[in-house]
Amino acid sequence: MQMKTILAMALAIGCLIGTMIPAIAQPGKGQSKKSNPVGRWEKVGEQPVKRVKDWDDFNLKSYYSYNAIKLRVLHSRVHFDQMVIVFDNGKSIDIPLNREIAENGESRIIDLPTDRRKISKVRFKYSTKGLFNDRAVVQVWGRRS
């Protein structure tokens, strides 16, 4: 083989590897939501919460069904009294929580009934705790079924 051919092949292989590394290093980037595999956790809602005892509705925008959910809390701790999960068929389940989730913490995994797993809304009764200017953010995560 000629030296030019070998160098051209090495350059082509180097370019090919160079374009593949970013895709391998950042899984999930560039993938459509339809390629999200079963069993994977995904954020399905996020909302800042007020500093008072209140009810807040999270309208979830997802086309998927979930077999479990969990909550994450950012910036300040939140005490959750109760959660109501409303499914797209109109049925709902009431889940008493009576649990405080620390800043940057998450709840236990809450398994969902097998016959009602496409969620349209999650309703929380909570109170925030912390400094006067703190504003907690609550995230709802779902595990694909």
38-144 belongs to which CATH class?
mainly beta
Cβ contacts of residue 128 below 8 Å, gap of 6+? 49, 50, 51, 52, 76, 77, 78, 79, 134, 135, 136
pLDDT above 50: residue 6: yes
pLDDT above 50: residue 28: no
Residue 100, judged by CB atoms within 10 A of its CB (0-12, 13-18, 19+), counts as middle
Judged by average pLDDT, the poorest of 3-12, 22-31, 106-115 is 22-31
Instruction: Tell me the residue type at 77.
Output: R
Rounded average pLDDT over 23-38: 48
Q: pLDDT of 74-123, one tens digit each? A: 988 889 999 999 988 888 999 999 999 999 999 999 998 876 678 889 99
> Could you state, in order of their start, the residue ranges of all structural domains in the chain?
1-30, 38-144
Cα gap 130→77, rounded to integer Å: 7
Rounded average pLDDT over 137-141: 93
- With CA atoms as reference, report the closest residue to 122 among 66, 41, 78, 51: 66
Residue 110 bridge partners (DSSP): 69
